[in-house]
Amino acid sequence: MNYEELGFKCGLEIHQQLSGKKLFCECPAIIRKDAPDFVFTRRLRASAGETGNVDLAALHEHRKGKVFEYQGYFDSSCLVEADDEPPHYVSMEALETALVMAKLLNMKLVDSIQFMRKTVIDGSNVSGFQRTALIGYDGFVEVKGRKINVDSLCLEEEAAQVVKRGKDKDTYNISRLGIPLLEIATAPSITSPEECRKVAGYIGMLLRSTGKVMRGIGSIRQDVNISIKGGARTEIKGFQDYKNIPKVVDYEIERQLKLIKEKKKVEESVRKAEPDHITSYLRPMPGADRMYPETDVETIIPGTVEIDVPITLENRKMKLVKEYGLSEDLAVLALKFESRNNYSFEKDFEKYASENLSPTAIADIILIKAPSIAKKEGKEISIFKIKDSFLEELSRGRIALSAANDVLKEFAVRGKVEFEKYDLLDESKIERIVKRIVSENKGAPRGLVMGKAMQELKGRANGKKVSDLVSKHLR
């Protein structure tokens, strides 16, 4: 497809859940799916917004006249989620993450943060609105040399999760309700579905760089706004994997082109990204009328919050590659391991890297060798228990790198290691053994002699040293 000829315009909206506690209460951000501890039912009514108009999208849901059943858990949902208690203080952790993200997106900060109520009466918010605040505006990201404007960053509450939709009743699980959510919206200046995918990937990397995001399926979602000449603005919601964006967008363009060809009107709408890459109708586009101030939350002046901007994952990866000589693949693995374990490879590289032990070798032991031995032995290896003393031995050259697998195996099986067993032999002992093997194998080719020597000295002598001694005595 020639996207330029089609007049293709595309904007991206990214929703990312933050870890920690909920935005307006002390409940932990834990999403549960097991049997609920309590259930309550509600009915929602459309109400007039600030300008006196009822929002069209809100009215659409009200006309359905539905009952909403909410399932909750005593440990992760309280009266705030049940909308039977006003919100508490905004989570400072979430607010700080939002401000950090605004900086990473090169945004301007609003001088005063005012939480708004965005009317949503499909039942996904018990209160009938989602609390949301504009944090930053007018930012940009640079992806593959192109500058993509980022219009807005909002901090908002995650909605409840649908359990079941029925004719008269929809059921929701409220454990997810109230989890802090960052909403990032780019300008419609993306020029191709492939570029859209790249921007989504890049912003996702920035989000993970904060170290405060939730992980797992559904913790990040992409919505794509697209339009083509003669078509209508369409919002495609619910991408679970940003890698599918190009395919889904192409299908949607084809759908609109078909309608244009048949001379049918293309309506502005919100559509859902289905698993088979097609889109289905969700509801009409919501308007600004559904926003009015959240009067239970006082305005916040962000100038008083200190912002410590982290190094992005991309930059940290490049550092591991350029400064420490890791391969890109190993660097990616290292960063994933770091975020899961609250650990820093750089610190250990600085501490243990030596002429005997390269940074790559350190990363290889922790990321590749240890997990593969653990798998092979069917045991768990708590690498942090052994890491420091093990790396110390290797770094000082007391143990050969070739003994690493044996050390890890012993640790996996016994839960402890006697490092002395693996100590390198001193030169005179090695020479004595090499001399004996040479005399026992008179006339044999060098390779065979070397093989026998290495087998006997396995892990206890440096390979190069053995090789040198074999050459010396064969002569």
Q: Which residues bind other proteins (CB under 8 A)?
A: 40-48, 50-53, 58, 67, 79, 82-86, 108, 110-114, 116-119, 121, 126-129, 132-134, 137-138, 152, 154, 287-293, 295-296, 299
When the beta carbons of 42 and 60 are compared against other proteins, the nearer one is 42
- In three-state secondary structure terms, 240 is coil
Q: How far is the CB of 112 from other proteins (least distance, A)?
A: 3
Q: Are 224 and 12 in contact (CB under 8 A)?
A: yes
Smallest distance, Å, CB 153 to other proteins?
Answer: 11
Closest approach, Cβ 65 to other proteins, in A, equals 10
Structure-block tokens of residue 329: 């693949």
The burial class, CB within 10 Å (0-12 / 13-18 / 19+), for 334 is: buried
The residue (of 6 and 67) whose beta carbon lies closer to other proteins is: 67
Give dist(CA 223, CA 234) in Å, integer: 10
* Residue 127 neighbours by CB under 8 Å, 6+ apart: 83, 117
CB atoms under 10 Å from CB of 37, counted, come to 13
Pseudo-torsion of CA 173, 174, 179, 184, nearest 10°? 60
The minimum distance between CB 256 and other proteins, in angstroms, equals 25
| Minimum CB distance to other proteins, residue 292 (Å) | 6
Closer residue to other proteins (CB): 295 or 342:
295
Which residue's CB is nearer to other proteins, number 37 or number 241?
Answer: 37
Q: How far is the CB of 1 from other proteins (least distance, A)?
A: 30
Burial class, 60, CB count within 10 angstroms (exposed 0-12 / middle 13-18 / buried 19+)? middle
The smaller minimum CB distance to other proteins, of residues 45 and 144, is found at 45
For residue 196, which phi and psi values (nearest 5 degrees)? -60, -45
For CA atoms 294, 297, 303, 308, give the dihedral sign. Answer: negative
C-alpha 220/C-alpha 134 separation (Å) is 19
Nearer to other proteins, 117 or 316 (CB): 117
As measured in angstroms, the least distance from the Cβ of 111 to other proteins is 4
Angstrom distance (rounded) from CA 10 to CA 187: 8
User: Is the CB of 105 or the CB of 365 nearer to other proteins?
Assistant: 105
Q: How far is the CB of 195 from other proteins (least distance, A)?
A: 24
**The residue to which tokens 């770091």 are assigned:** 338
Give the three-state DSSP class for 218.
Answer: coil
Please give the Cα distance from 11 to 187 (Å, whole number). 5
135 versus 386: smaller Cβ distance to other proteins? 135
Return d(Cα 221, Cα 365) in angstroms, integer. 35
